[in-house]
Structure 1
Amino acid sequence: MPTIAFTKGHGTGNDFVIVADPDGELDLRDEQVAAMCDRNFGIGADGLLRVVRSSAIAEGAATLAEEPDAEWFMDYRNADGSKAQMCGNGTRVFAKYLLESGLAQLPAGSTLPIGTRAGVRDLTASANGFQVDLGRWKLSGDDPLVRARGLDVARPALGIDVGNPHVVVALSSVAELEALDLSVIPILDPVLPEGANVEFVVPSDPLVQDGIGQIRMRVFERGVGETLSCGTGTAAAALAVRHWAGALAPHHWRVEVPGGTLAVRMFPTQDGEHVALSGPAQLVYTGQISLAD
């Protein structure tokens, strides 16, 4: 059995197995990734981050064409082994690993670009960890009804694309949010061909405090299940609530998830409005694991 080194990390409880493969020598099968992420028989994680040079992975060609300085590519895999476009919390943990391992530097006032399947994402240091510019967002037009265990009737959702697909459902109270049983996958009607992450949100009362919007959220991630946090889902939830609240809603949001608190900021750029996510990132421990051939 081959043995590989790994690091375990998390961002507000959204946890990852990190595997360094600078030269792209590893060819991890879906079932090997799933075995490492298994919480009973493996390391346990919501997903896997492979640290590989953009020049050493086929998907990195688009990264280098977009930003030649994006040396590192975040090859993100869901807990079931499937590939995913992006992971907001994962980018911060990825950046933390690059800095702690000496693979990259982030001087004060500078930006660290990393490649993802959704394009290059720029990270900067923030007071509570890292801020990542998730890029342009859009209403996807996919607005299904969502059925979930614990909800008495199907609820309408708003489709948001922040580099990966989300549908956001507004609930009426914290009690309704806590009553959800997300051990069972929510059902989308109509079914979306690529699936979507599903966020359930409750606006605070009052919604805005000191100019900052306040919401609570739980999430079911496709290919994973319920997680303690979802970075892109946090951004999608804040964007959806701002959309529902109207033109006077703020552009800064504080989102409480089971694993902690994240900040979301919307800001204009030359190519349209971007959304940024900021929050902590921690590395927990290192080890080695043997993989089945």
Structure 2
Amino acid sequence: MTRRLSSGLATLLLALAAPIPATAQPSPGWSLAAAEGAADAVEAMRDDPAFAPFFQDPAITTRLRQAHAKLALAKDSLADTRNRYAGSQAHEFAVAAERAFREIERELWRRRRRVETTAAGVVGNGAVRRQLLSDIAALVGQGRELLARPGSSWPNERQARAELGRALEAARGIGAATPLERLETVRSELTAATLAARYAYRTWPSQGPPLPPAHWVETPPPAPVPARLRQAVERFLAGDYRGVVQLLVDPNLENGRATALAYLLRGAARYALFVESGEREGELLTAAQADAHACRRSDPSVQPVRDTFSPRYLALFAEP
């Protein structure tokens, strides 16, 4: 987990301009397949008696409708042959759709575990606790094995690894005295995060680390990264765009380059939220454009990198 986040931090904070290979570029076809796979997983749960009652909840119904709307937008965007940004639009909508379906899947698992724990009653609490602790221990082992595998720089895989890392961190300190409700929550989060990480490995092609150039000499370490900027990068890589905006409500940091990177991150996060809204919240687009201009004013050398930001945001950033 630390190695992957460090790699993402280094890539983003150094603002490298080197493009990634064409085979590693986000593909709308792959993104749609991932989103449809996530939708299939949720829809299949309707036929499971343990999950079926939850689909009667208006909150779940609303979230499903919104997720399917994002998936429909992805397909419509891909079919728009007159739009030169159709592919990148489809990719962004598909990523948002997959994220929405995965969140619904996690919520359904949480509800099922809660029902199971309640049904066990006070008499069976000891057995339930032992089973929960056993399940958590097994999931922690699986999660560590997944994070130990080489991974690619694909956004979905990076997000899945970050979520799995957070779930493993939440499991630290769990023991016999931990409340049942907390054990149930940890097991549910670990189950969903482990499945998502394993699914990400099957979906995205792995990329090995780049080899150093000939006569490579290690460069001096860069200046320390401001803590707030580091936290914002971690949230951005994990797909927590609202968290990025909240953390960088004041983007002014220790130096011009750090401030420029803060504007860059906040602008990209606002643009991602604009896309996730179905491109209906125009104020987010306006704010993203203003942040892009502020980034260039703070440090013209700071540019978004292609393997971290979407093609459409790259185009927006390049606008005068």
Tell me, yes or no, whether TM beats 0.5: no
Higher strand share: 1
Provide TM-score, normalisation by structure 2.
0.21
The structure that has the greater radius of gyration is: 2
Provide TM-score, normalisation by structure 1.
0.22
Higher helix share: 2
